Homo-oligomer: A and B are copies of this chain.
Amino acid sequence: MHLHGTYYRTIWPHPEDPGCVCTFDQRRLPFELVVEELRSYRDAAAAIREMHVRGAPLIGSTAAYGMYLAGLEARREKDPEKLLENALQELAATRPTAVDLFHALDRCRNVVEAGLPLPVMAEQLRELAGQIADESADICRRIGEHGLPLIRAIAARKPAGEPVRILTHCNAGWLACIDYGTATAPMYLAHQHGIPLHVWVDETRPRNQGARLTAFELGQEGISHQVITDNAGGHLMQHGLVDLVIVGTDRTTRRGDVANKIGTYLKALAARDNDIPFYVALPSSTIDWRLTDGLADIPIEERSEDEVHYIEGWTGSELHRVRVSPQGSRAANYGFDVTPARLVTGLITERGLCPPSEEGLLGLFPEKAQQTSTP
């Protein structure tokens, strides 16, 4: 998608320097657009670990490009195998719950262990990383194509020119992916097709990915939007100001329960109470076919209290964090919540839409039927 009018992906090989891969330091967004040059697998690992890059698809691609850089480094080492093994281990240890990360590294390991001459291996790792990124962009584009008719149908029921009003939570946008995003992909495609949109962007405390990243993305694409506090969505729905909710998911069970950023469940309840369709966009890689009951089976990460006590923002010249709670008060910080399938209208996958149920998902992914649920 576009930033300041230029088309970007979230990660790309440097066009002139083969020893360099470029990405954005997303910690500075939306206040500063900083291109970060990764020149070693350790740079890539640090970028993932310290959340310069975030979002499962981007993490996977960054790890793969990290292995490409490791492949180059191996050529200068006495013990290249050791370096490559260290790189695989170190990259895998950056974010222990990111399933796309392990998928990407498994594919890299196959190349590393294929017994190729080092220059060939490095070149193949580079191609693989590009392929992983392309696949991710393609999956997101297809999610967009399958979600587009939902928006088009709502637009068709409205007077010409009246925007379709979509609420989203957190950032399931292209900055978390390679291009298009997941929840945002139908919006970007609708916008490209000339359908007028207005997006309500949940701020998404504690880390404010909605206010900081989704609002920024949408603004850069010229899509009308307003940032709202996480408290406001219910009121908007009660007053007929939301036509559709689309969110992403970090993990989806085989029956369609979805674990997404904390607060998603509250929006699903409000959508149900006001008869507003609530869709979840997902690449099928987020489906954990071993799990059925999301509430019982998906462990919810508890994160640092400081994310609640402090808020980071821009002073006008720098990023600064300020404390919003009293010294001496404790906080609790749960990263995700589970929206049960009963509150989900439908799932938007790269293979199409389906009801949030085992039958629905297996209809699109019949090859998964033999994967049994672990009780």
When chains A and B are docked, how far (Å) is the Cα of A226 from the Cα of B235? 26
> Contact at B337–A219, with CB atoms within 8 Å?
no
Interface positions of A (Cβ within 8 A of B): 30-31, 200-201, 203-206, 208, 211-212, 215-216, 218-219, 225-236, 238-239, 261-263, 265-267, 269-270, 273, 295, 300, 308-316, 320-334, 336-338
Contact between chains at A263 and B326 (CB < 8 Å): no
CA distance A322 to B315 in the complex (A): 5
On chain B, the residues within 8 Å of A238 by CB distance are: 265, 295, 337-338
**For A273, A314, A329, which residue has the most chain B Cβ atoms within 10 angstroms?**
A329
The number of times this chain is found in the oligomer is: 2
Docked complex Cα distance between A324 and B273 (Å): 30
Chain B residues whose C-beta falls within 8 Å of the C-beta of A328 in the assembled complex: 219
Q: By the criterion CB–CB under 8 Å, are B227 and A325 in contact?
A: yes
Give min CB distance, A178 to chain B, whole Å.
21
Chain B residues within an 8 Å CB radius of A311: 311, 313, 322, 324
Whether A332 contacts B273 in the complex (CB less than 8 A), given A212-B326, A227-B308, A324-B212, comes out as no
**Shortest distance between the CB of A205 and any CB in chain B (Å):** 4
Q: Which residues of chain B have C-beta atoms less than 8 A from A218's C-beta?
A: 329
Q: Do residues A266 and B262 form an inter-chain contact, with CB atoms below 8 A?
A: no
Find the B residue at minimum CB distance from A329.
Answer: B215
Shortest CB distance A309–B (Å) = 7
When the two chains form their complex, are residues B235 and A330 in contact, meaning their CB atoms are under 8 A apart?
no
Q: Which of B203, B273, B316, B322 is A205 in contact with, Cβ under 8 Å?
A: B203
Q: Which of B233, B313, B338 contacts A266 (CB 8 A)?
A: B233
The CB with the most chain B CB atoms within 10 A, among A215, A218, A309, is that of A215
With the chains together, A344 CA to B314 CA distance in Å?
A: 40
Chain B hits for A331, CB < 8 A: 226-228
Among B226, B229, B325, point to the contact of A211 (Cβ < 8 A): B325
* A265 surroundings in chain B (CB, below 8 A): 234-235, 238, 270
